[in-house]
Amino acid sequence: MIKAPNIILVGPMGAGKTTIGRLISQSMGKEFYDLDKVIEDNAGADIPWIFEREGEEGFRRRETHALSAIVQSDTGDCVFATGGGIVMREENRDILRDNALVVYLYASVAQQLYRTSKSNHRPLLQTGDPKAILKKLFEVRDPLYREVATLIIETDARHPRSVANRVLDAIRRHLKMETTVS
Ligand SMILES: Nc1ncnc2c1ncn2[C@@H]1O[C@H](COP(=O)(O)OP(=O)(O)OP(=O)(O)O)[C@@H](O)[C@H]1O
Ligand SMILES: O=C(O)C1=C[C@@H](O)[C@@H](O)[C@H](O)C1
Ligand SMILES: [Mg+2]
């Protein structure tokens, strides 16, 4: 039997990767994992603690380790949400492109700002003006998300359920197309 691909969601903080990932995994009857949560479970500590003790570099090492482990495990066929910075390392981008169906959840900086304003567990947004930080990150990362993406889904002005339905439709169309071509 052909192994179904892992579905991996990428995009900026507040794009809805965790929220939409959970919804689509339920609809598809697949297991859902959030890489941020996997990193926290492996470390026995939360992300702010990891950033404080090990810096962003320490967190990125853990992130690459967790990403490599999930694509090497033979389960396949799962849905993964990633952290917003997963595309920063070239090594991670190669892993993503070669091993999964990658969905980029696009959100404008205004939406990212609104959706991240309700919590303070994102260390990168605690160091200055969140709007300026999100804008700067977006300029660097948007081309990188596009570089690894199989599919791009716009999330602005859409309820999570509606975004999830669009993702599901796009995945079904893509997989059908692949079957027809091969
Ligand atoms: N399409 C949407 N419309 C409105 N609110 C949304 C939408 N998607 C997510 N949200 C809300 O935005 C907040 C952030 O969503 P979520 O945690 O899923 O983002 P994320 O992409 O996983 O962020 P991070 O990279 O920081 O983990 C949550 O409160 C969630 O309920
Ligand atoms: O955008 C980022 O670099 C991050 C996003 C979060 O999901 C976490 O992975 C962490 O806070 C770093
Ligand atoms: Mg998340």
Q: Which long-range contacts (CB under 8 A, 24 or more apart) does 132-137 make?
A: 134/12, 134/13, 134/14, 134/109, 135/109, 137/12, 137/13, 137/84, 137/85
pLDDT in the model for residue 1: 40
Lowest mean pLDDT among 32-46, 78-92, 114-128, 134-148: 114-128
Split at pLDDT 50, 70, 90, the class of 3 is low
Residue 172 has pLDDT above 50, yes or no: yes
Residue type for 7, please? Answer: I
| Residue from 98, 79, 84 nearest 167 by CA | 79
| Mean pLDDT along residues 16-42 | 96
Q: Is the CB of 18 within 6 Å of ligand 1?
A: yes
Q: How long, in residues, is the chain?
A: 182
Is residue 21 lining ligand 1, measured as CB closer than 6 Å? Answer: no
Any idea which of 17-31, 32-46, 70-84, 148-162 has the lowest mean pLDDT? 70-84
- Segment 124-135, tens digit of pLDDT: 998 899 999 999
CATH number of 6-173: 3.40.50.300
Determine whether the annotation assigns residue 146 to a binding site. no
Q: Which residues surround ligand 3, an ion (CB under 5 A)?
A: 17-18
Q: What is the mean pLDDT of residues 136-154?
A: 98
ipTM of the complex: 0.97
What's the confidence (pLDDT) of residue 127? 87
- Testing ligand 2's pocket by substitution, the residue of 36, 39, 60, 142 carrying the most ligand atoms inside 8 A of its CB is 36
Q: Is 128 flagged in the annotation as binding?
A: no
**What is the reported pTM?**
0.95
The whole-number pLDDT of residue 181 equals: 63
pLDDT in tens, 13-25: 999 999 999 999 9
